[in-house]
Amino acid sequence: MVDSRSTQRNDVSALEILRPGHVEYDRARKVWNAMVDRRPALIVRCRETGDVAAAIALARSEDLEIGVRCGGHSVVGHAVPEGGLMIDLTPMKRVRVDPERRRAWVQGGALLGELDTAAQAHGLATTAGNVSHTGVGGLTLGGGMGWLAREHGLACDNVLSCEVVTAAGDVVRASADENPELFWGLRGGGGNFGVVTEFEFRLHATGTRAVSVELDFPVAEAAFPMARWRDLAADAPRAATYTATILDGVATLGFVWVGAPEAGEEHARELTALGRPAARRVGELSYLELQRRDDTPQGHEVRRYWKGHYFRDLGDDAIEALLGHDPSVAASLQAYGGAIADVPDEATAFSQRQTAFEYVGAARWTDPTQDEARIAAARASAARLEPFASGAYVNVLGDDGTAGVRRAYSAAKLARLTALKDTVDPDNVFHLNQNIVPSRAR
C-alpha cells in the first residue's frame, strides 16, 4: 500500500481545458518530434497538484486514455493521447532554490533550462540533460544522463523526494522514508507510477565554467584515434565526459569538462595520443552555454527517429561497426562510469550502471516522403551494432515496445517494477510510457 497525505479532487469545472478548435489547442498538442501529430479530445492545463488529481478523475470517469506532458521530448510522443486526455504540466514550471541547504524544488512540468538557470544563479547545479528544452519530468523519471553524472550521479540519483498524484487521485510523498518502494520505482521506472508534481533535488557547488574539446577525423582514418579515445575514457577524471559523434564522413572525438577550465585544458593534452586531427576545437564556455549548446541543432519542427544501445565495453569490432554507420544517421556516444557506477544496481529502478558508453543513432529530416527511407537507415545502422550491445537506456527507447523494456531492465528488476505497478496502478491508467504492464493486464 502507498501512504497518502491527502486526496485532492478539485472541481472539474474549475479546470482549464482546451478542446479542438481552441486557439491554443494546436500549439499545446505539438511536441518535439514533428512526426507526432495526434489530437487529444481534451488538454487539461494543470496549474497545481489538485488540477492533476481532478484531470485523472475526469479521464477515468470518461474512460479517456491519459497522456502526461512535461517537455514533450518522448521521441514517440508518449505525452499526446489520440482522442484521450492530455495532462499538460507545462504551466507547472516553478523552481525554488535554497542555496544554503543546496536544494531545489522543481515542479513536474519544468524544463531543464529552468532548473539550470535558477541553480546557476548561486553557482550550483544538479545533473540534467544536454538540451535545455527537455523536460525535467520525463528525463529524471527515466534516469537522467548529463555532463555532471560522472561526478554527481544521474538526475534520479539526486532526487531526495517527490510529490506524486497516483492513479487513484491520492497525493503522496515518496522519499527514502516515505513510500520507499515507490521512491525506488520513480528513479528509473519512468512515468509508470503516477504524475510527479514536484521533485526535490540535491544541488552541488559546480561553479559556472566548462570546457568542450572536439577533434575531427575523417571516418576512413578514425579507427586508431577512436580506439585510443576509448582507452583514455576508461581512466578519465570524473569531471570529463567523453563524447563521440560520427556523421557525414567525420568522426568527432573529445570530451566535455565541467569545472576549472585550466584542468580541462590540461586534460585535453592527453588527446594528442589520438594522432593529428583534421580540425581541433578547444573552447571554454559557461555551464549555462554548455547546457544550451545543442538547443538549436536539437530543435523542434523536424521529423525524427532514433535507436539506442548501451555498451558495457567497446571492442575494436564495435568501433569498426560504428564507423560503418550510415553517414546520414548521426551516431553519438557518451561515456558513463564514475558516480553512476558507484550506486548499487538494486538501489534504484534505473539499471545497467556498469555501462561504459550510451549510443544513440538519430535520423532527422523534414520531407515526409522520406519517412520510410530515413527510419530504415537508422534501424539498419543500429542493427549492425546490436551484437555488441548490452542493453538500452529506457529514455532513448522509441517504438521498441515490450522488447525495448526488456532491454532496459533485467528480469529481476522487471519483476520488482511489476509488483510496484500492481500496487499503485493495477489498471494501467498510466500506460503511455515505456510501459511496465501490471499482472492483471497481461
For ligand FAD, the binding residues (CB under 6 A) are 32, 68-74, 78-79, 89, 108, 129-131, 134-135, 137-139, 141-146, 190-191, 195-196, 298, 395, 432-433
Which of 144/153 has CB closer to ligand FAD? Answer: 144
Helices (H), 250-370: 261-268, 287-292, 316-323, 339-342
Place of cell 518502494: 181
Nearer to ligand FAD, 108 or 113 (CB): 108
Report, in Å, the least distance between residue 383 CB and ligand FAD.
21
CA proximity to 195, closest of 138, 129, 127: 138
CB of 138 to ligand FAD, least distance (A): 2
Residue 139 or 331 having the CB closest to ligand FAD: 139
Q: How far is the CB of 133 from ligand FAD (least distance, A)?
A: 7
Between 326 and 358, name the residue whose CB sits nearer to ligand FAD. 358
Among the listed residues 117, 131, 115, the one whose alpha carbon sits nearest the alpha carbon of residue 296? 131
Considering the complex, state which of residue 113 and residue 135 has its C-beta at the smaller distance from ligand FAD. Answer: 135
What is the C-alpha to C-alpha distance for residues 310 and 290, in angstroms, rounded to an integer?
A: 24
C-alpha cell at 298: 536539437
The DSSP call for residue 217 is E
- How far, in Å, are 160, 170, 217, 254, 436 from residue 431 at the CA level? 25, 18, 44, 39, 8
Strands 330-335 and 240-247: antiparallel
Q: How many CB atoms are closer than 10 A to CB 325?
A: 23
Phi and psi at 384, nearest 5°, equal: -65, -25
- CB-nearer residue toward ligand FAD: 141 or 331: 141
DSSP single-letter state for residue 61: H
* Minimum gap (Å) between residue 328 Cβ and ligand FAD: 18
Nearest distance, CB of residue 92 and ligand FAD, angstroms: 8
CB of 52 to ligand FAD, least distance (A): 9
Which residue carries 580506439 as its cell? 227
Shortest reach from residue 89's CB to ligand FAD, in Å: 6
As beta bridge partners, residue 198 has: 107, 163
Name the residue number minimizing CB distance to ligand FAD: 138
* Nearer to ligand FAD (CB atom), residue 166 or residue 277: 166
Place of cell 515542479: 107
